[in-house]
Amino acid sequence: MKNFIAISGCSGGGKSTLLAELKRRGFAVVEEPGRRVVRRESETGGNALPWADGAAFARKALALAWDDWRGAQSLNGAVFFDRGLVDAAAALAHVTGYWPDGDFGQAYGPLVFLAPPWPEIHVADTERKHGFAEAESEYHRLVAAYARLGYEAAILPKVSVAERAAFVLERAVIE
């Protein structure tokens, strides 16, 4: 089993900032699929956007997450994923009512790191247009999805990015 570590949780909870710090420290990082889908759709005039066609967006995010996961198989050492398969599957289930097929419970190591709702740092931007209440609801769906799939959750503390990185690195199994 590869050493794949998921960083998930509340939208606007500091995940991408944490992943940037882990990358700066030399770890392999996979960028969030959803943000890449939004950028591509916006650049090409596509409609697979969470605020336009949530199901199409989630399907594209899930396909990209699978591509990322397969592509990361060739990487050595720990690989940190900014969201990924479970997040995209949970989004698709939320908008369609159906959980997609796939072995999501074995995609990452047994410990997932979850960024809790943190209103002081949550901001909307061109790729994240929803408000804090929607982000909180999403967080609770993700907590439930990861638990249902058998993952153990470590809630990221609301501290500086350097302290968050130390928290992750102290708890993650780094080979």
* pLDDT the model gives residue 120: 64
What domain range includes position 85? 4-171
**Residue corresponding to tokens 């909180």:** 136
Q: Measure the CA–CA gap between 84 and 109, rounded to whole angstroms.
A: 13
Number of domains present in the structure of the chain:
1
* pLDDT the model gives residue 129: 54
* pLDDT the model gives residue 127: 55
Q: Measure the CA–CA gap between 173 and 167, rounded to whole angstroms.
A: 12
> Residues of 38-68 as b/e, b for ≥16 C-beta within 10 angstroms?
beebeeeebebbbeebbebbbbbbbebbbeb
* pLDDT the model gives residue 7: 96
* pLDDT the model gives residue 122: 52
**Residue corresponding to tokens 């995609």:** 107
Provide block-wise average pLDDT over 10 residues at a time, the chain (175 residues).
87 87 96 91 89 92 96 94 94 94 91 84 56 80 95 95 96 75
> Which domain CATH number covers 38?
3.40.50.300
Alpha helices in the chain (DSSP H): 15-24, 33-44, 54-71, 85-96, 132-148, 161-171
